């Protein structure tokens, strides 16, 4: 099954099967895993956990950028400004598809100079507020003015790992036969990587070209975050330093799709931010219209602080 057959709601919440296995290992099966929450089915707490973690990681990045005093970040892509209630989240993406904007790929965040904050906020107010950004064409005059002031656009990724405790963290890249002699590690090595889906590359490049703004991928782990420019990714792939891998993703309603992704060693990325406060894991639940309860764990709080490498990268883009 290809992703074009999936509703946007299911595409957004799709989870790599490797992540599902990690999340559910050692837990007994949920006996009412087929309960009806909305027209599409959420089959387990893993999807809700991944969804809530994505929201949390974007919020931590925004907080880290905003607290440094030189820059500020605003959510821009539809996921970043979508409601946090599951049912409202679904209706939001239904509205996005109805407006014909569901297939447009926009970066998750825009980063601006702190000195431009008053101007940017006034422009966004004229558009109708942050929640209306995904429904506003980039041909809109005010939207073009917003984009013109951006320093960089950011695509956000996250992983449920403590980066510094992963077995391959701190490893030195050495020549590998499977990489035709280029530096790397064994395929089975588990280490922090910056992940990008192949299906996202062309849309992101299209946006980058049209907006004339660089896109970077920021990948958040439990304890730290790394960054990589889209152009840097392309160079690593084209020169054979990073090979594509295929993974199976599962949507909340059950359909699976195979997607090509790129896992870029953190050694090729720049240190972006470090956790100075750990988040709390909070027990939460959702209740469907029939009274069924689905418990899950979400992240709350915590704090990231921008590293000097991340700040120097931003300064170099001005």
For 34, 45, 76, 226, 271, the CA distances from 193, given in Å and listed in that order, are: 33, 25, 24, 8, 12
Q: Which DSSP state fits 29?
A: P
Q: Per the structure, how many domains does the chain have? A: 1
* Distance of alpha carbon 57 from alpha carbon 80, whole angstroms: 10
- Render pLDDT for 220-266 as a digit per residue (tens, 0 to 9): 999 999 999 999 999 999 999 999 998 876 655 556 778 899 999 99
- C-alpha to C-alpha distance for 266 and 89, rounded to whole angstroms: 32
Helical H runs in the chain?
Answer: 8-13, 17-24, 45-67, 78-81, 86-98, 117-127, 141-149, 198-211, 230-238, 308-317
Minimum mean pLDDT range among 75-89, 153-167, 299-313? 75-89
The percent of residues above 90 in pLDDT, for the chain, comes to: 50
Is the CA virtual torsion 197, 203, 207, 209 positive or negative?
positive
Q: What are the residues facing 9 on neighbouring strands?
A: none
- Please give the Cα distance from 265 to 316 (Å, whole number): 23
Dist CA 202 CA 59 (whole Å): 26
At 82 the pLDDT is 62
- What percent of the chain clears pLDDT 70, i.e. is strictly above it? 74
Q: Say if strands 183-184 and 193-197 run parallel, antiparallel, or are unpaired.
A: unpaired
Closest Cα to residue 149, out of 186, 175, 111?
111
Domain that holds residue 12: 3-317
């Amino acid at each position: 099954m290809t992703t074009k057959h999936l509703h946007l709601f299911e595409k957004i919440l799709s989870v790599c099967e490797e992540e599902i296995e990690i999340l559910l290992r050692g837990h007994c099966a949920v006996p009412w895993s087929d309960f009806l929450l909305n027209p599409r089915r959420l089959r387990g707490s893993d999807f809700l956990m991944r969804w809530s973690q994505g929201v949390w990681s974007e919020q931590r990045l925004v907080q880290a950028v905003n607290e440094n005093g030189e820059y500020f970040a605003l959510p821009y892509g539809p996921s970043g400004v979508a409601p946090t209630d599951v049912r409202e989240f679904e209706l939001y993406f239904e509205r996005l598809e109805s407006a014909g904007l569901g297939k447009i790929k926009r970066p998750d965040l825009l980063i601006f100079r702190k000195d431009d904050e008053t101007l940017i906020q006034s422009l966004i107010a004229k558009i109708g507020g942050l929640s209306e950004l995904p429904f506003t064409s980039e041909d809109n005059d005010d939207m073009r003015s917003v984009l013109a002031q951006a320093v960089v656009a950011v695509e956000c990724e996250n992983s449920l790992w403590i980066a510094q405790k992963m077995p391959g963290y701190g490893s030195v890249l050495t020549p590998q036969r499977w990489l035709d002699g280029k530096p790397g590690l064994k395929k089975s090595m588990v280490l922090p990587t910056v992940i990008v889906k192949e299906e996202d590359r062309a849309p992101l490049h299209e946006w980058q070209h049209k907006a004339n703004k660089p896109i970077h991928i920021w990948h958040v782990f439990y304890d730290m975050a790394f960054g990589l420019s889209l152009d840097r990714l392309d160079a690593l792939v084209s020169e054979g330093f990073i090979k594509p891998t295929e993974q199976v993703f599962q949507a909340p309603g059950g359909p699976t799709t195979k997607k090509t992704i790129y896992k870029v060693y953190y050694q090729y990325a720049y240190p972006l931010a470090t956790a100075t406060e750990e988040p709390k894991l909070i027990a939460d639940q959702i209740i469907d219209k029939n009274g069924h309860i689905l418990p899950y764990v979400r992240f709350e709080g915590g704090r990231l602080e921008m590293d000097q490498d991340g700040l120097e990268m931003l300064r170099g883009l001005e």
